[in-house]
Chains A and B, each alone.
Chain A
Amino acid sequence: MLRNSPFFQLYRARLREFWRQPARIFWVYGFPTVLAVVLGYAFQSRPPAPIQIDLVESPFSTPIALAIRNHNDRLAAAKASSGDTRTTALPPVSYELFTEEQANKRLNTGKTVLEIVPIDESSWSYRYDPTRPEATAARQVIDDVLQEAAGRVNPRQPRDIQVTEPGSRYIDFLIPGLIGVNAMGGGLWGIGFFLVNLRIGKLLKCFIATPMPRRDFLGAILASRLTFLIPDVTVLLLLGVLAFKMPIRGNLLVFFLIDVIGALAFAGIGLLVASRATTTETVSGLMNMVMLPMYLLSGVFFSAERFPRSAQYLIQALPLTQLVSALRLVLLEGAGLFHHDILKAIAILAAWAFGTFSLALRIFRWN
């Protein structure tokens, strides 16, 4: 029965072809995994890094060095007894002694962010570039340390409540983003690039020279694309949960449903990209034109909300923005299918899918 079904045969062929290309498997599953692991570790929550500064050698540098050492000793003691909340807000500080000439040169070449030049026993100057955030932060910290060492008493006693819970870390933000990127890449590479290659190799022409129903052909490509979503999603979710203890707060079926609708939107875009192109160069250019803005703007690696308000209309209309933010909402905030933002994302993705498919099918060049 299935032996004579063009849909089934084409579907199986597509799965076979994918499965037999280890390189492709790496780029689809291995690469995002490696990316997640590398970025996950690079941005994992760590104790605050010590602030490194240069201290210019002079008779007056000794009290400053002493104040810094005392500060660090107090931090170490506080850590051991985990008491004192007053000083734990300030990170440790490390310093190196240089001549003024050396220190100036290091500052000018960006090797240090802050240089302390002692003037007399009760005053010193800070040299730093105020446009560098880490320099301003260093100045703030070292100034607090030195002022407190000199006897400053803080009139108020704030408490620091530090939050590093699973769910709010960079890796938790990243994994749904990478799942969205996979859906985009799959649609554009797995459908767009694939179809253009069939056209270039004349295989598309060879297919349509037979009585093969075109809907079976497109249906099989689409079905195989959706099939590949299962490992796409599973690999990254498992990585998040097992390696990074990422929480899953929402319903996984809703999560998968959103990914399917997103994948359909990108399948439509892939089909549209492939509808006329007859060379690899053209389709690569078109794919970059589609994918690059979304990589940058859609909040995969950093939040899309950091972009100016005027750009938000455009950014929010991009399918990847909607897909990634809906996936995050479900996964990290436990949003349900009928959450307002989820419904909005589904509507926008469905509109993309419908619009691109209807246009692509109208202009698709079969021969």
Chain B
Amino acid sequence: MSDRAIRVKELRKQYPGRDGPVHAVSGIDLEISVGECFGLLGPNGAGKTTTVEILEGLNQPTSGDVEVLGLRWATDETAIRERIGVTLQETRFPDKETVHELLTVFRSFYRAGLPVDDAISRVSLESKANALIEQLSGGQQQRLAVAIALVGDPELLFLDEPTTGLDPQSRRQLWEVIRELRDRDRTVLLTTHYMDEAERLCDRVAIIDHGKIIALGSPRELIARLGGDHIVEFAVDGNGTTLEPAAFASLDSVLTARADSEGFALTVSEPHRAIPALLDELDRLNRPLARLTTRHVSLEDVFVSLTGRHLRDDAVEESRAFNLGGRRRKNRARPPS
């Protein structure tokens, strides 16, 4: 019995694309211990889902070595499936089944598992047990998806963006479910593009960008790597020359400085020293302060400092993808000449 729930070496996956192969995953090494809640973070299209689907045995790697619960997909598929639970992104369950009925169907697939009523109570859907799935809200359906993953009482649970698109209350309810699993010593692999979610739930996180892991560690460690604990964000008024972030980098207690949307963000170790210094400097430059906030460093800042981009700042990439899609659709609609 291995104490590693997941071991991945040199994992690569490429898809044929129109302009040559697309490297969805380009060389990932990963070890996840039993009992750990591990977060895979990254923007849309970073390769999270591909990686997770390979680990779930739903997708084949182009190359690399994958071990799940000490077993391999090629030889022990059924044995692995008995011991893992999988929640996919946005599964559309049959409208006309009740929660209890659907879980009974899924329960029959496993040799051992939870009684259906237990799976329902784990995700607090007792009041909806006999409701048709079409009557559930988005958050309730997502909890049902988790219940389906739990009904085989898995040692290892995969949750692919379980809270995407949910309202804050539903998110918090799902977090409770995941915390409870961690307390039961189950291994959880979670993907998300919400940094706060990873910070709250995960023992360790890996940040993925362009198919590679660019940072790995506990949320605390990753944040500590920035050096400072606090972020000071501010904006200035008045006309004058454009200010360079570098102008603030040498202020007392400031570790890094960068331009942020409509202002600047400073990583500082001691705000009570940095802020007076900043105010003095702005006085000297004769630029009045328009806005000033301070907050603790988050994984979001880690991501920004690593990539220069915001995690959810993928609007640009998304709109590009949308344009491509739109153009392709237009092409298809045009009658052949």
Contact = CB atoms under 8 A, between A and B. Distances in A.
A203 B93 contact: yes
Given A4-B108, A212-B109, A206 B91 contact: yes
Given A13-B94, A16-B96, A209 B105 contact: no
Q: Which of B96, B102, B132 has the most CB of A within 10 A?
A: B96
A20 B96 contact: yes
A165 interface: no
B90 A3 contact: no
Interface residues of A, number: 24
A208 B78 CA distance: 10
Contacts of B132: 20
Contacts, number: 73
Given A202-B90, A206-B88, A16 B101 contact: yes
A205 interface: yes
Given A5-B108, A13-B105, A16-B101, A208 B58 contact: yes
B110 A211 contact: yes
B57 to A, nearest CB: 8
Contact of B94 (A4, A202, A203): A203
A210 B89 CA distance: 16
B72 interface: no
A9 B94 CA distance: 14
B104 A16 contact: no
Given A17-B96, A21-B96, A3 B58 contact: no
Interface residues of B, number: 33
A10 interface: yes
B82 A209 contact: no
Chain A contact residues, majority secondary structure: helix
Interface in B89-124: 89-94, 96-97, 101-102, 104-111
Contacts of A210: 81, 86, 106, 109-110, 152
Interface in A5-38: 5-6, 8-10, 13, 16-17, 20-21
B161 interface: no
Contact of B92 (A8, A201, A211, A367): A201
Contacts of A211: 78, 81-82, 109-111, 152
B58 A202 contact: no
A3 B101 CA distance: 11
A209 B97 contact: no
A8 B57 CA distance: 26
A206 B94 contact: no
B287 to A, nearest CB: 53
A203 B110 contact: no
B108 A3 contact: yes
A21 to B, nearest CB: 6
Given A17-B96, A203-B93, A209 B56 contact: yes
A13 B109 contact: no
A209 B96 contact: no
B328 to A, nearest CB: 14
B135 interface: no
Contacts of A206: 86, 88, 91, 145, 148
The 3 closest A-B pairs by CB, nearest first: A201-B92, A209-B86, A211-B81
Given A5-B108, A21-B96, A201-B92, 20 more contacts: A3-B104, A3-B108, A6-B109, A13-B105, A16-B101, A17-B94, A20-B96, A200-B92, A202-B91, A203-B91, A203-B94, A205-B58, A205-B88, A206-B86, A206-B145, A209-B81, A210-B106, A211-B82, A211-B152, A367-B58
Interface of B: 53, 56-59, 78, 81-82, 84, 86, 88-94, 96-97, 101-102, 104-111, 132, 145, 148, 152
13 contacts: A4-B108, A9-B105, A9-B108, A201-B91, A206-B88, A206-B145, A209-B84, A209-B86, A210-B109, A211-B109, A211-B110, A367-B53, A367-B58
